[in-house]
């Protein structure tokens, strides 16, 4: 196999996941593992999800597929056929880990196909098997179905997100799949570490509901102490005596800035007042306030309102870029709510050579991708290859098992 | 079987959640995690609800206690001439150093990776700050709220006609710990096999942008800027949170329902005993439901509004339809599925008393996570760590203490 020099170089991972688990295999691949995406012969459902590169509905052009399946090779295999299951078990003998995301009640789960953990373990006791499911493998909700919306709702991250006059709201992209995808990758890496010590693999059970708990930043655990059930406050936060605005319209978008206190933040507030003063836009309510002793739990709503009126006028007079450059130069805790356009143009990300142009010769184009999720001084992290075309590596991988792809195709196994 | 990371030694500098939640994975799985703090500049989450005159002082913060269970806490005054030298001895003890200060801090104390590597050649070290250790904006002093905005989550969260919001809880502060756990575990696997340590630079913004690859690639490959669309989906309807009957005096009860396929829709109709509005042929296909989504959402609400969120969830799930209570914090601590997974566990903190602590979203078949001890009060384990773990003599410990090094 190819040598990448990554931390997980030499580990082979079979990736049976659909969208909820795409990120897991991508991250493991970008750490150097040889990740093999296994799809049913018709291809993963994500391949049929718009938008498509060039606007054409085509299995090789889905943005969702291309974006989250980098650093994987790809094969097709029909697990509904006995021959397919037999080949899968042979692949498991040579693999270090399997990741999947069907859920225990799904009729297409590995267990439902007679390929549950005990069966795989019997063939390869060193194998790590990681399942991502809506609620976990056991327990009263384990048979329940759920996609991102359900995980974010039942995990408690939706109720406190939103505006008070409207319904609780989720992020428009599936954050539980991101939390769950990284969690699954953590589980695989932990279990591989454990295997180095014990020689044995294990089963890892990731719940999408449960991964959404820690993102609530301990608020649920505080409920028995405070009785606070959460609530929607729009773009802002609540101190002991006042509500603070945190998202402000500016000339061409929005910026995040709040009068949050604490020693780490006070210098930023003082620098911000100075910035407004230099622009001739700081009223006495700001310049006369003793910010060195500022505590957002002590200030009253009337004081906050007066200050925030001036802030609103100031932000409306500037663009996201001007404000962010000032923030970087003056150490202000102010950040623009960037869209993909500004992120792609970020000077910081450019200086770190974060974005990579990935050649997609079949599409006649190169596409700019987010690159490494971290940097390591000795072991490269980052995209190893573009997402696989449907069945792209069938010959290469089945060849190593001594199987002939033409025969497999005739048998309709791939 | 022993815990996965029994015997692993982790030294932690920094504060907040983005770093400390990351080392929790190792602490929960048996590692000895020592947090280095100082009274000179306390972790800001020790000050979140701090009021002058509070007898609990720096040890009364709920959030600090909940983030930092299972860790030892020591005080070390890095501004004291002896501070960095003692830190160096801690680094020699450690397998892993994790820090999440702004980039300048560790170098200022001579604790940058190149210096530490001389003390401990196979050290695994991870630094995580908002923008990373290099680049023109590396010193930008952001917290999670800023990370969420810069990496694109805020723009994508909320209603199209209102301001962007960002998911509750400053999402890069919860994504980053997961990346920390993954990166350190992968580095430890590599070290086990090769003996080589390494230095890892995790920029929280970059981690967030990688998660949102779909956002970026949609733009770079098609030119489209993705916008926030409330709870709706471009591919499914109904897909949202629907108001339910009040629970006691709480009239803020909601259920999330997601109907993806036409088959789901038929199951949904049956679960509702097929009301006349649902028989409308225009609603039989995804395209039709998306085209009439305003009307559809109103109809669904007329059904949910008279029922409890719990009943709607149970009834729809029994019919094979995706539904879930939009859980508030009280619902979560009473949730039977989370109870089954023992998500919340009680510990007793010296100042706060009994409280719940929580663990992460994964379980292993052969090794267990455990919550063994409460978070440390500031400097609580100084004597144990310096004397027992570092083997400092009592004479040296007392002298350094008297000199104010352990403040």
| ipTM score | 0.98
pLDDT higher than threshold 50 for residue A1: no
Contacts of A50 in chain B (CB under 8 A): 234-235
Instruction: Judge: B196–A378 Cβ closer than 8 Å, yes or no.
Output: yes
pLDDT higher than threshold 80 for residue B32: yes
- Which residue has better confidence, A295 or B160? B160
Instruction: Judge: B166–A235 Cβ closer than 8 Å, yes or no.
Output: yes
B340 touches chain A (CB under 8 A): yes
Instruction: Judge: B326–A374 Cβ closer than 8 Å, yes or no.
Output: no
- What is the distance in angstroms between the Cα of A93 and the nearest Cα belonging to chain B? 20
**Chain A to chain B Cβ contacts (< 8 Å):** 535
A382 touches chain B (CB under 8 A): no
Of A7, A214, A354, the CB nearest to B360: A214
Contacts of A267-271 with C-beta under 8 Å, sequence gap 24+, read: A267/A331, A268/A331, A268/A332, A268/A333, A268/B141, A269/A294, A269/A333, A271/A330, A271/A331, A271/A332
Is the distance from CB of A22 to CB of A68 less than 8 angstroms? yes
Strands annotated E in A163-230: 203-207
pLDDT higher than threshold 70 for residue A33: yes
Residue B1 corresponds to which tokens in the numbers above?
């079987």
- Across the range A90-99, mean pLDDT stands at 98
- Which residue has better confidence, B206 or A240? B206
B281 touches chain A (CB under 8 A): no
Instruction: Judge: B361–A202 Cβ closer than 8 Å, yes or no.
Output: no
Residue B182 corresponds to which tokens in the numbers above?
């993954």
Which residue does chain B place closest to A200, by CA atoms?
B366
Of A166, A327, A376, the CB nearest to B159: A166
Question: In residues, how long is chain A?
Answer: 414
Please give the mean pLDDT across all residues of chain A. 95
- Across the range A256-265, mean pLDDT stands at 84
Instruction: Judge: B136–A347 Cβ closer than 8 Å, yes or no.
Output: yes
DSSP 3-state of B72: strand
A202 touches chain B (CB under 8 A): yes
- Across the range B149-174, mean pLDDT stands at 95
- What is the distance in angstroms between the Cα of A403 and the nearest Cα belonging to chain B? 32
- Across the range B279-284, mean pLDDT stands at 96
DSSP 3-state of A59: coil
Confidence class of residue B255 from pLDDT cuts 50, 70 and 90?
very high
Instruction: Judge: A338–B155 Cβ closer than 8 Å, yes or no.
Output: yes
- Run of H or E residues at B104: helix B104-108
Number of neighbouring beta carbons within 10 Å of residue A342 = 19
What pLDDT, in 10s, does the model give residues B332-353? 999 999 999 999 999 999 999 9
A186 touches chain B (CB under 8 A): yes
B56 touches chain A (CB under 8 A): no
Confidence class of residue A263 from pLDDT cuts 50, 70 and 90?
confident
Contacts of A337 in chain B (CB under 8 A): 149, 154-155, 164, 166
B55 touches chain A (CB under 8 A): no
What pLDDT, in 10s, does the model give residues B91-132? 999 999 999 999 999 999 999 999 999 999 999 999 999 999
DSSP 3-state of A262: coil
What pLDDT, in 10s, does the model give residues B225-243? 999 999 999 999 999 999 9
Instruction: Judge: A377–B199 Cβ closer than 8 Å, yes or no.
Output: yes
What pLDDT, in 10s, does the model give residues B34-77? 999 999 889 989 987 777 788 888 999 999 999 999 999 999 99
Contacts of A265 in chain B (CB under 8 A): 44, 143
- Across the range A360-373, mean pLDDT stands at 96
Contacts of A9 in chain B (CB under 8 A): 190
| Whole-prediction pTM | 0.97
B38 touches chain A (CB under 8 A): no
Of B62, B188, B336, the CB nearest to A218: B62
Spatial separation of the C-alpha atoms in residues B158 and B146, rounded to whole Å = 17
| Among A213, A266, A378, the residue to mutate for chain B (most B Cβ within 10 A) | A213
| Among B117, B141, B186, B344, the residue to mutate for chain A (most A Cβ within 10 A) | B186
- Across the range A247-254, mean pLDDT stands at 94
Contacts of B210 in chain A (CB under 8 A): 370-373
What integer pLDDT is reported at residue A4 of this predicted model? 57
- Run of H or E residues at A270: helix A266-278
- What is the distance in angstroms between the Cα of A395 and the nearest Cα belonging to chain B? 29
Lowest mean pLDDT among A74-78, A257-261, A343-347: A257-261
What pLDDT, in 10s, does the model give residues A139-185? 999 999 999 999 999 999 999 999 999 999 999 999 999 999 999 99
Residue A263 corresponds to which tokens in the numbers above?
């020693």
pLDDT higher than threshold 60 for residue A3: no
Nearest in space to A115 (alpha carbons), one of A79, A71, A169, A157: A79
| Among B136, B193, B221, B323, the residue to mutate for chain A (most A Cβ within 10 A) | B221
């Amino acid at each position: 196999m190819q040598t990448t020099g990554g931390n997980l170089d030499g580990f082979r991972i079979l990736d049976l996941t659909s969208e909820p688990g795409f990120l897991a295999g991508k991250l493991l691949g970008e750490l150097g593992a040889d990740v093999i995406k296994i799809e049913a012969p018709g291809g993963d459902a994500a391949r049929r999800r718009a938008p498509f590169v060039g606007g054409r509905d085509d299995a090789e052009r889905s943005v969702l597929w291309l974006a989250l399946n980098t650093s994987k090779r790809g094969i097709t295999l029909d697990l509904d056929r006995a021959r397919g299951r037999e080949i899968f078990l042979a692949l498991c003998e040579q693999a270090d880990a399997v990741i999947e995301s069907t859920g225990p009640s799904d009729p297409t789960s590995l267990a439902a196909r007679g390929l549950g953990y005990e069966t795989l373990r019997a063939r390869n006791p060193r194998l790590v098997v990681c399942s991502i499911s809506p609620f976990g493998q056991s327990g009263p909700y384990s048979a329940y179905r759920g996609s991102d919306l359900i995980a974010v709702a039942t995990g408690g991250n939706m109720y406190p997100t939103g505006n008070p006059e409207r319904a609780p709201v989720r992020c428009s992209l599936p954050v539980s799949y991101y939390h769950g995808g990284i969690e699954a990758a953590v589980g695989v890496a932990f279990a591989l570490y454990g295997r180095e010590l014990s020689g044995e693999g294990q089963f890892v059970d990731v719940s999408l509901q449960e991964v959404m708990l820690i993102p609530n930043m301990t608020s649920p655990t505080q409920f028995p102490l405070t009785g606070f059930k959460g609530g929607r406050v729009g773009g802002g936060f609540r101190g002991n005596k006042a509500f603070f605005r945190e998202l402000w319209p500016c000339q061409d978008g929005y910026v995040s800035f709040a009068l949050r206190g604490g020693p780490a933040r006070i210098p930023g507030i003082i620098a911000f007042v100075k910035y407004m003063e230099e622009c001739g836009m700081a009223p006495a309510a700001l310049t006369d306030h003793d910010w060195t002793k500022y505590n957002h739990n002590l200030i009253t709503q009337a004081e906050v309102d007066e200050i925030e009126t001036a802030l609103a006028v100031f932000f409306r007079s500037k663009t996201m870029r001007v404000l962010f450059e000032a923030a970087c130069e003056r150490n202000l805790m102010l950040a623009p709510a960037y869209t993909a356009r500004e992120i792609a143009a970020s000077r910081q990300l450019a200086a770190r050579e974060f974005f990579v142009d990935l050649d997609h010769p079949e599409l006649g184009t190169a596409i700019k991708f987010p690159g490494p999720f971290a940097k390591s001084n000795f072991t490269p992290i980052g995209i190893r290859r573009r997402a696989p075309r449907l069945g792209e590596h069938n010959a290469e991988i089945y060849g190593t098992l001594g199987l002939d792809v033409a025969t497999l195709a005739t048998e309709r196994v791939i | 079987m022993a815990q996965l990371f029994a015997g692993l030694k982790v030294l932690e500098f920094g504060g907040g959640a983005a770093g400390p939640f990351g080392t929790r994975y190792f602490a929960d799985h048996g590692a000895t995690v020592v947090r280095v703090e100082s009274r000179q500049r306390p972790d800001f989450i020790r000050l979140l609800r701090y009021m002058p005159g509070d007898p609990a002082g720096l040890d009364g913060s709920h959030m600090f206690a909940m983030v930092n269970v299972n860790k030892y806490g020591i005080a070390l005054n890095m501004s004291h001439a002896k501070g960095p030298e003692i830190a160096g001895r801690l680094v020699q003890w450690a397998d892993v150093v994790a820090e999440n200060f702004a980039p300048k801090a560790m170098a200022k104390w001579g604790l940058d990776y190149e210096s530490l590597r001389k003390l401990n050649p196979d050290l695994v070290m991870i630094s995580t700050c908002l923008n990373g250790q290099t680049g023109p904006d590396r010193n930008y002093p952001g917290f999670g709220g800023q990370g969420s905005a810069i990496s694109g989550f805020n723009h994508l969260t909320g209603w199209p006609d209102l301001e962007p919001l960002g998911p509750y809880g400053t999402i890069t502060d919860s994504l980053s710990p997961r990346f920390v756990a993954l990166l350190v575990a992968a580095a430890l696997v590599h070290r086990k096999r090769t003996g080589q340590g390494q230095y890892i630079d995790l920029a929280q913004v970059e981690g967030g942008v990688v998660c949102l690859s779909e956002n970026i690639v949609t733009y770079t490959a098609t030119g489209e800027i993705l916008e926030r669309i409330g709870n709706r989906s471009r591919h499914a309807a109904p897909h949202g949170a629907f108001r339910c009957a009040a629970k006691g005096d709480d009239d803020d009860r909601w259920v999330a329902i997601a109907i993806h396929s036409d088959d789901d829709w038929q199951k949904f109709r049956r679960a509702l005993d097929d009301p006349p509005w649902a028989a409308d042929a225009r609603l039989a296909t995804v395209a039709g439901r998306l085209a009439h989504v305003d009307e559809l959402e109103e109809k669904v609400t007329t059904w949910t509004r008279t029922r409890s969120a719990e009943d709607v969830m149970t009834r729809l799930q029994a019919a094979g339809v995706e539904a879930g209570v939009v859980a508030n914090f009280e619902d979560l601590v009473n949730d039977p599925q989370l109870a089954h997974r023992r998500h919340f566990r009680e510990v007793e903190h010296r100042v706060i008393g009994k409280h719940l602590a929580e663990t992460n979203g994964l379980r292993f078949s052969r090794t267990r996570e455990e919550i063994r001890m409460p978070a440390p009060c500031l400097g609580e384990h100084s004597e144990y760590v310096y004397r027992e773990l570092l083997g400092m003599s009592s004479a040296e410990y007392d002298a350094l203490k008297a000199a104010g090094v352990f403040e």
